[in-house]
Every structure is written in C-alpha cells, then in structure tokens.
C-alpha cells in the first residue's frame, strides 16, 4: 500500500517532458530534440546525441514534431484583426470604446489594447475578388480612418473618423456627423496611423494553434512563452499552443517576392520593335506557370518560384550580406519533354552557372555562392528548339544571408 502511494506521489511530481521541436537552419539542415531553452540569442535542444546549441541568427523556423501540437482551433474565427505592428489575430469578437479596443480571440482569450495599436479589422470572410480590393484600399494613402462597406460581390469605402465599435453598429464620423452603421453592412475598417515613423522589424513571428500570428519584438521562455509585439501587446502561450516559430525574416528571400531591376524579353524571330502585348504575354510569372497553374517539375509542385520564357534576361539587386542562391531548374511539366534553353546565372559580371536545360532532363539543383555580389543576373537563352516549349521553371528560387 505504502509502495503504491509512493509511486503515485513520484508520478504526480514528475515534470512533464519538454515538447519535441524541429529546428530548420539557414544552411537547410535540421535538428530535432526536446526544447530546453529559447532566447533572442540561442536555442537549445536535447537530442539523442546530446544537447545542441543553435544560434537564433541562423534559425529559420521551429516547429513541434508531435501532430497534437497543431490541434484544431477552439473556435472558428469570425473577425480578423491586423495590428499596426504586423501581427494578425484570429478573433470571434471586436469592440472599441474611447481609446481602448477589446478583442476576443478564437481561443477564448480576451485582450484589451490601445486603439492606436490596431491597423485594420475585417468583419466578413474574404473572397478572392473582394480580397484584392480590400488589399488595394488598405494600401491607399488615406487622410482619415477608412470604413469599407460590402454590396454583394463588391465593396466601397469612405474616409472619416472611426468612433465606438459596438456589437450591432459602428459609429463613423463623416463630414462632422457621427453615423451609426450596422455591422452587418460593414466588410471592415482601418485606422489611420501617422506615416513616416520608422518601424523596427520583429525578431520573428509566432503562429498559435488558434490561427493568430504574433510579431515578436521580445520573448522569454519559462513555464510559458512570454512575448511582446513591436506595438507593446503582451501575451503568453504554452508550448503546446504553438504551431510554429518563424525566424526567417531577412534571412531568406524568394525572388518571386522581389522586384527586378530590369526584365528584357527578345523573341526568336525578332525584328524591329517588340509588341507590348507580346512582352506582357512572355513576361516572367511569379509562383505560377504560363498557364496560371502551379509550378511543377517531374510531378513535384513548388509554391514559390519563377517561370521564364526564352529569351529573357532578368536582373535583381541583391540585399547586403547575401551568401547563397538556391533553386531547382527544369522545363515545366506542362510542356516537357519539349523545351530546350541555355541557363546562365551571373553574380555581377562573374558567371556562376552556365548549362543547357532540356525537357528531357531531370530537374537540376542549383546552389551558388553569391557572397559579395550586388546583382543577380539570370539569362534564359534559346536552346535548340527555336523557342518552342521553352518554359523554364526556377522552383523555390531564393537567396540566403
């Protein structure tokens, strides 16, 4: 009897095992182990080979290995709140009175934050058509707060001053008159923030299992993860509530997210001035192929990358301290085994890669040292098929610091 009680007591005071995480590094290596320590400087994992210390500066992501760590949200979000610091919160309710906003998150947690920390609030699910217009409206250089009203499959917006936000209506001041607008008519609204203030980039982002994405300026790991956003919002999360840590900001950039310095396309039978219509048709495609379908090489799909037609030269200005360029090169499955190009990649004036790429070839892994280069020049030249089927895919084309 006494032995059984002692066993129960020992079990009761045994601390729970630290959750197992997988760390993805800039070098594209990974380390799996129990998470023992996480600071702005380092990560310590307890692996089967012993404790491993990793520099946070070399870490891209940290994700739990146990599928249970990514359980479904406690509630489906009905309100989507973007903070001015880049955090994106999945919520079920939003209200504001005076200079304070109250947010009920999808997990049930209630936040009270200054209204000045709020960027925008969307009250309705998005559709592709309306999402594009919503994004355009949020990008406007407005002189006041913005109220966006939905009318069927379209939206319209008004500039004024947002006042209190209640459960049934939003008070919106337009031309000096405060009007109560029913929430059911409102697609969303955005608060105006002074421009010109320089924002400090976050250390990274934390995605929790309820769908909120928190920009992180400070954090500390004790019994729970305590984090502070760049806007000063403080929250706590247990490690079992974390879906992922993303520390890739500034360490890896996809070419499809960068604006090229120049793009030049030349037709195979080119004489005289090139038609603007043809230039648009053969212009590089970002994250999609020339049929607007996903990028695919030998049945492997790539969510990021470029599709380039011969003869195209595209030039990117490289951020400082770039170390490597990586991609998978091949002819698009949509046209293979047709297609033959000559791919040349230069760092400034130095040739780093020069090879034929054909639709009959297996995809090629490209890993180039670009340290010290200021420009990345990619030339997709004609091969031996006279331009027919010359659709080169650079899957996951990216640069690393």
The DSSP call for residue 355 is: E
Of 210, 243, 233, which is closest to residue 108 (Cα–Cα)?
Answer: 210
Checking DSSP bridges between strand 375-382 and strand 340-347, what pairing results, if any? antiparallel
Least confident window among 224-228, 315-319, 320-324? 320-324
User: CA-to-CA distance for 203 and 229, rounded, in angstroms?
Assistant: 10
pLDDT in tens, 149-207: 998 888 999 999 999 999 999 999 988 888 999 999 999 999 998 765 567 789 999 99
Task: Compute the chain's Rg from CA coordinates.
Answer: 26
Average pLDDT over residues 112-127: 95
User: CA-to-CA distance for 362 and 357, rounded, in angstroms?
Assistant: 9
Structure tokens at 99: 């200079």
**pTM value surpassing 0.85:** no
Confidence class for position 244, pLDDT limits 50, 70, 90: very high
Q: Tokens 């604006």 correspond to what residue?
A: 259
Confidence class for position 272, pLDDT limits 50, 70, 90: low
> Taking the mean position of all CA atoms in its chain, how far away is CA 257?
10
- Judge whether 288 and 337 are in contact, CB under 8 Å: no
pLDDT in tens, 90-118: 999 999 999 999 999 998 999 999 999 99
Q: What is the number of other CB atoms lying within 10 angstroms of the CB of residue 175?
A: 7
Residue ranges and CATH numbers for the domains of the chain are 16-65 (2.30.30.100), 79-190 (no CATH), 253-400 (2.60.120.1060)
pLDDT in tens, 7-58: 444 444 555 678 899 999 987 789 999 999 999 999 999 999 999 999 998 9
CA angle 88, 93, 94 (to 5 degrees): 70
């Amino acid at each position: 009897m006494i032995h059984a009680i002692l066993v129960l007591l020992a079990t009761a005071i045994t601390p729970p095992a630290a959750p197992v995480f997988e760390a993805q590094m800039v070098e594209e290596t990974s380390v799996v182990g129990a998470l023992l320590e996480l600071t702005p400087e380092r990560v310590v994992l307890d692996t089967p080979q012993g404790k491993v210390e990793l520099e946070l500066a070399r870490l891209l992501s940290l994700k739990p290995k146990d599928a249970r760590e990514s359980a479904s949200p406690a509630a489906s979000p009905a309100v989507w709140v973007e903070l001015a610091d880049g955090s994106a919160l999945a919520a079920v309710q939003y209200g504001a009175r005076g200079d304070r906003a109250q947010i009920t998150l999808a997990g049930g947690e209630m936040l009270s934050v200054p209204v000045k920390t709020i960027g925008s609030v969307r009250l309705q699910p998005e559709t592709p058509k309306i999402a594009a217009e919503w994004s355009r409206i949020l990008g406007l250089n407005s002189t006041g707060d913005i109220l966006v009203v939905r009318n069927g499959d379209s939206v319209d917006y008004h500039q004024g001053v947002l006042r209190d936000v209640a459960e049934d209506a939003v008070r919106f001041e337009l031309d000096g008159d405060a009007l109560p607008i029913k929430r059911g008519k409102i697609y969303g609204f955005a608060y105006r923030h002074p421009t010109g203030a320089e924002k400090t980039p976050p250390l990274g982002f934390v995605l929790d299992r309820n769908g909120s994405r928190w920009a992180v300026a400070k954090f500390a790991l004790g019994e729970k993860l305590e984090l502070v956003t760049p806007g000063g919002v403080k929250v706590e999360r247990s490690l079992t509530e974390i879906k992922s840590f993303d520390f890739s900001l500034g360490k890896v950039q996809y070419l499809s997210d960068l604006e090229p310095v120049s793009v030049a396309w030349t037709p195979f039978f080119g004489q005289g001035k090139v038609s603007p219509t043809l230039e648009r048709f053969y212009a590089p495609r970002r994250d999609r192929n020339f049929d607007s379908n996903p990028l695919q090489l030998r049945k492997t799909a790539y969510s990021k990358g470029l599709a380039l037609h011969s003869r195209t030269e595209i030039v990117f200005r490289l951020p400082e301290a770039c170390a490597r360029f990586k991609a998978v090169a091949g002819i698009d499955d949509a046209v293979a085994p047709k297609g033959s190009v000559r791919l040349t990649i230069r760092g400034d004036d130095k040739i780093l890669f020069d090879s034929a790429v054909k639709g009959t070839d297996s995809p090629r892994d490209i890993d180039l040292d670009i340290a010290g280069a200021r420009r990345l020049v990619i030339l997709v030249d004609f091969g031996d098929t006279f331009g027919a089927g010359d659709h080169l895919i650079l899957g996951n084309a990216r640069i690393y610091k």
